[in-house]
Chains A and B, each alone.
Chain A
């Protein structure tokens, strides 16, 4: 299928999310759409998939102007979408999920499961996408679940596949497998529109790269172009992708966990005997695919989740099962994984959010009455020091961009006396410029001789920040390695292959 977008413009109120975007995807081409978060990629895809209607411009399929009334319409015209968050029913089998909404039927409107299963076998074989049609989706690893999504799109005879940030939840090996699938689909004549902000993937798989920034196409690039060129096109200025660290000279042990066991919300053991220590002047990066117990570990350390057994010590003081307030007061800074849920109160001002976990500390309050003058002064100082882009301290934090919201949290935590910093996915969803900034802050904190634990599922981040890299798999530390180790080695640890197995 040859897809052409001509001058697509989409406005939301006074904000123009897509401004005169024109793109052509040739048959058998892998076309990368590269852009920061908020650049307008998702809006464009939703327009293409019939979920939004463009204010201007037109969509041409094989040279014919086409209008989609809804996503079903887009599917019928041969467009398939693999969403960032899978749209699968966890308790259904692969076959049931694939035919959902378009079930083949026998007489009396009964679902023909046999035909469904056969169809899936046929498509799997045709495109080399191996999945057991009878497996229950929730039992499959994430990489295979994604394969089910792709199968689902192909089963509707999709000629053009849209992959929206497909690698966010995958291990390096799964990413490689996905890349191979993409190539074989392209070889079979399918067109692929691949949306991402990860430069390595773009370079590995793209035939053509279109870069969009602030709703506009700002240029095209070749896969052979350097990462820094792609990054600067994406951000609009020169970007420094490496963070300079001073020489590694760890001091005394600051933070220690021993044989920690923590259960998740369902009562299953999520952290299973984890031991880890962090020294002064050191960043320990905890790598791992999401959902291997990192979230529960961090919550347990922060006092937000009960520790079943084991101990957590900070500078010799036992903080196991201490209340969140006691943990914070003991000098632990916490940058939570989900900043909008745990880190900020979106309906409150920047100033209030900057004192969210120290509202009673002098000078912000006295005898139960808040000192708004001091709160404001604090905000003005931090807005300046941490370069938070806001119109005023009184502006609601919800009106800030994701990067600036994260800066509010970073500023709040780093501005109070800390003995230990724990940051969970500190740059998730941030644009390159903000990532650069947050990394700079973390490294400066470490260079000043402080200890930090950074939990991240982004390998680039793990390598950029970690002095030691611990890898977590299935609730355990599967290995602790140097940042000089290869990506492959860490990738293997992320799938649970320990040194002993090799």
Chain B
């Protein structure tokens, strides 16, 4: 059918160039997200609005209004970049004088610090998505992982070689326990994982408040909802020592190991193959003899375990304690992980890039707020807009005329809702 009778009408160069890789749609979604953010800045920034108001009220020079607009949008995105990746002038200074490296590397260090636990949690969510499971409970699982790890890290005392691995394992175990509940309920009663995990998150938050206020675990001498501090031997130490001021830490090795594991698991392991068959076609999975109940429970153990690991990596690398606000609200990496996994197409290496991007937007957003006064929420708006555009590939294709580009891999997400 494909060769003989087809009359080839040659597609345009643009279509051919852009139809090569599915990453193209994601890239253009990013561009659209940034454009969308620019529109938000223009329509909300007082300086920009004033300039335009002046133009219409007193017939000022239109050039001025445009200049203010470009200056403001430019400043916002410039500070976002310099605050999350590198500041060129600071780099030049360090290179010429050999000093101030700590300052120069801080943005990158911060981005990596934020990206580390996010990456781990996102891998967990991505594996669940590939199995057709929508794990909205990653945050609750991360919370329980953080609690379990922090308990082991602060209440047991032993040398680093034992203490750190044990702390991380406790985090994984905590996440697995939290994940096993929706997994077992879905496998044996058919309860929908989205509903169960959303509700289960609240149980985890309540449990968190309970443990940080209970005497054995509470910081001695404190009445507030704050835990004991983890031992040095249980912390993920900064890579360049505490004195460097750079927070980037040994957690990135944990994250690297997780990425390697996830790649092997999905691409090479027999169990991962079962997971992917189940995600891509549950009926065929059943017909080919895969035990779907076992897969359902196991995927929640794997996904929950990784979320739990993310939780304890977060606690062990930055604060070294947990409090009542641990992973709540903006800090809810388990929720961000869902969007990161989608952006990364649920593939380990895709998720690496997506989590770095999201961490950079978050870190850069803070720098932007500090220096330009544009609220940090803009970063969240851009993040959301990017994901929205990735989730509507038809729209992106229409805007950029990418008719032939392969469609994004978000069907798995949709399946999570349907099953």
Please list the residues of chain A having a beta carbon within 8 angstroms of any beta carbon in chain B.
11, 13-16, 19, 38, 214-216, 302, 304, 323-329, 334, 336, 338, 341-348, 352, 356-357, 359-360, 365, 368-370, 372, 401
B284 and A344 contact, CB distance less than 8 A: yes
Query: Bound complex: CA of A244 vs CA of B11, how far in Å?
Result: 48
Interface check B13, CB cutoff 8 A: no
Which of chain A's residues have a CB closer than 8 A to the CB of B286? 304, 324, 342
Which of chain A's residues have a CB closer than 8 A to the CB of B280? 345-348
Which of chain A's residues have a CB closer than 8 A to the CB of B404? 13
B269 and A16 contact, CB distance less than 8 A: no
Residue in A15, A341, A369, A370 whose beta carbon sits within 8 Å of that of B284 in the complex:
A341
Interface check B256, CB cutoff 8 A: no
Which 6 residue pairs across A and B have the least CB separation, nearest first?
A325-B289, A357-B288, A342-B287, A214-B5, A324-B289, A345-B281
The closest CB in chain B to the CB of A412 belongs to B288
Residue in B8, B271, B273, B284 whose beta carbon sits within 8 Å of that of A14 in the complex:
B8
16 additional contacts (CB under 8 A) given A13-B404, A16-B5, A215-B5: A14-B8, A14-B11, A304-B286, A323-B291, A325-B291, A328-B288, A336-B287, A345-B281, A356-B288, A357-B287, A360-B270, A368-B269, A368-B270, A369-B269, A369-B270, A401-B1
A323 and B289 contact, CB distance less than 8 A: yes
Which of chain B's residues have a CB closer than 8 A to the CB of A369? 264, 268-270
B287 and A324 contact, CB distance less than 8 A: yes
A359 and B274 contact, CB distance less than 8 A: yes
Query: Bound complex: CA of A345 vs CA of B273, how far in Å?
Result: 11
B287 and A370 contact, CB distance less than 8 A: no
Interface size on B, residues (CB 8 A): 30
Query: Bound complex: CA of A216 vs CA of B1, how far in Å?
Result: 12
Which of chain A's residues have a CB closer than 8 A to the CB of B97? none
Interface check B58, CB cutoff 8 A: no
Q: How far is the CB of A478 from chain B (nearest CB, A)?
A: 28
Which of chain B's residues have a CB closer than 8 A to the CB of A401? 1
- The verdict on A342 contacting B268 (CB below 8 Å), with A216-B5, A359-B274 known, is no
10 contacts between A and B (CB under 8 A): A13-B403, A14-B7, A15-B6, A16-B6, A336-B287, A341-B284, A345-B277, A345-B280, A348-B280, A357-B289
Interface check B4, CB cutoff 8 A: yes
Which of chain B's residues have a CB closer than 8 A to the CB of A348? 276-277, 280
B288 and A372 contact, CB distance less than 8 A: no
Interface check B371, CB cutoff 8 A: no
B284 and A214 contact, CB distance less than 8 A: no
B289 and A372 contact, CB distance less than 8 A: no
The closest CB in chain A to the CB of B282 belongs to A341
Q: How far is the CB of B383 from chain A (nearest CB, A)?
A: 28
Q: How far is the CB of A413 from chain B (nearest CB, A)?
A: 11
Which of chain B's residues have a CB closer than 8 A to the CB of A325? 289-291
Interface check B189, CB cutoff 8 A: no
A342 and B284 contact, CB distance less than 8 A: yes
Query: Bound complex: CA of A81 vs CA of B11, how far in Å?
Result: 35
Please, what's the 1-or-0 string for B242-273, where 1 marks a CB less than 8 Å from any CB in chain A? 00000000000000000000001000111101
B270 and A370 contact, CB distance less than 8 A: yes
A302 and B287 contact, CB distance less than 8 A: yes
Query: Bound complex: CA of A342 vs CA of B404, how far in Å?
Result: 29
Interface check B9, CB cutoff 8 A: yes
B4 and A346 contact, CB distance less than 8 A: no
Which of chain B's residues have a CB closer than 8 A to the CB of A326? 289
A19 and B287 contact, CB distance less than 8 A: no
